[in-house]
Amino acid sequence: MVSEEPSLRASLEAVLLVVDEPVTEIVLAQLLEEPVARTTAALEELAAEYRDQGRGFELRRVAGGWRYYTSEACAHVVERYVTEGQQSRLTQAALETLAVVAYRQPVSRARVSAVRGVNSDGVMRTLTLRGLIEDAGRDPESQATLYRTTGYFLERLGLDSLEELPELAPYLPDEINDIEDVSA
């Protein structure tokens, strides 16, 4: 008995079910020995089909690649399942620190602490351990370690790139000093 090769769509679905981080169209095309344009079109068709059918999962393009995610409509059910008996949310300090790194990267611990007005060393270590920020080299002047957000950060926020971060201006108070003047 001769078995038929699976379709491009079926092959994409099979690979995407086992990935633990987003996979680029180029990698998928190479793996499946298909043109990138055909692979991209198939991914977009699958994503639209799942969305139109109101499935409990979605195929999304995030962090430069493609991956399956729970649909927003089912998020509360999945969250209840995943967090049952555990608490893994970020503290207010961690969220503030992560925001400073995301919007000011690459940035040193000292600069983050200056912007926040409190020592942020412990929070920076926690965010590094959780894989949300990483070492981005050294500042040429001060030799301080610089930090940036990771691909995992983009993935967790459902963003394809940092350009998708919301603008800060609408959330700032009307009367605010220039942050550069305050933290210099």
Same domain flag for 103 and 179: yes
Same domain flag for 107 and 152: yes
Same domain flag for 115 and 152: yes
Whole domain around residue 162: which residue ranges?
A: 92-183
pLDDT by residue (tens digit) across 56-66? Answer: 999 999 999 99
Sequence-separated (6 or more) residues with CB below 8 Å from residue 64 = 22, 24, 151, 160, 161
What CATH number does residue 68 fall under?
A: 1.10.10.10
Same domain flag for 126 and 172: yes
The answer, yes or no, to whether residue 174 has pLDDT greater than 60, is: no
Q: Is 105 helix (H, G, I), strand (E, B) or coil?
A: coil
> Could you give the number of structural domains in the chain?
2
Q: Check: CB of residue 8 under 8 Å from CB of residue 42.
A: yes
Q: Which residue has the tokens 């962090």?
A: 63
Of 46, 75, 104, which residue sits at a domain end?
75
Distance CA(80)–CA(125), nearest Å, equals: 28
Q: Check: CB of residue 105 under 8 Å from CB of residue 165.
A: no
pLDDT by residue (tens digit) across 106-128? Answer: 999 999 998 888 888 889 988 99
Same domain flag for 131 and 64: no
Q: Which of 5-9, 50-54, 88-92, 180-184 has the lowest mean pLDDT?
A: 180-184
Distance CA(130)–CA(128), nearest Å, equals: 5
